[in-house]
Structure 1
C-alpha cells in the first residue's frame, strides 16, 4: 500500500501501482458519452493513464489541461483521464475548457479500476476515490512508467511521463 499525504496528513491507498515491465490490467470504464471503454480498445497506441480524485479540483483540472496540450500532441498516443467523477461532470469540464485531445473515463460504476490498479484511497476523507497517479503504457499495454504522486495536491511529473513515451 502506498503511503501518501493529503494536505500534509498521511493517507494510504489499498495497494501499489502495477510494476514497470508488467502487463497493465485491462479495465472497463464509462466514457463521457456513456459508452463502455476498455484498455484493450487502445491496443496499438501508447497510452497515458492520468488518474486523479476529481476533475472538480484545481490540480486535477490542471493535469487534464496539461496532458491535453502536451502528450496528446505526440504521435500514436492516447491520453486517458480517469476518475470516479460522473461522466456528465467529465463531459461538462471538457466542453467548458474546449479540451478534445484527451479521453475522459469514469470509474464510477464499480470502482474496480482503482482496486485493480491498487490506487484507491483506503483512508482519509477521499477514501474510495482514485489517488493521483500516472501510468504510461506501450502499444502492447506493458507498463513503462508509473508515478504515485506523494502529496495529492501536487501535480504529477509531466516531464518524466512524457520522456517515458519518447523512449519507446
Structure 2
C-alpha cells in the first residue's frame, strides 16, 4: 500500500504545480516540493533523493517500504489524518465492479512450487547472503582474526 501512497503524493504534487505554473515539473522538483512540505508541516526531514528513489521503485511496480512517520506525513500531504485513514479511503474506492476470478488453492500451490523450483542456485545463494549479511561478516572477521593469531603464533 506504500506504493500507492508514494504515487498518489507525486500525482498530487504534479497536479498542484501544473495548476499553479502551467508547467510540468521534473520528478526531482516534485520530490523537493514534497520534501519541503514534510519539513515545514510535519517537522520531519526526508530527503528528496529518498523520495525520488521510492517513486522510481513504485513506477517500476516494485514494493515500496516506508517508515510509519514518513507514511503518516505523506498522508497528511494528501489530506488524510493518518495512514489508516488513507487505507480505509483507498479500500472504499476499490470495490470491485466485476466478479473476480476464483483460482483453486491447488493451482496456487503448484504455481508456488514451480516458482521455487525455477530459481537458480545463484539466485538462492544471493538471497541467503542478503538475509544473513551481518552474520556472515561477523563469522568472516572472527575467522580472519583467528587465522592472523595462528600465523603470528607460528612465527614466534
Confirm or deny a common fold (TM above 0.5): no
Shorter chain as normaliser: what TM range?
Answer: under 0.3
More helix by share: 2
TM-score by length of 1: 0.22
| Structure label with greater radius of gyration | 2
* TM-score, with length taken from structure 2: 0.23
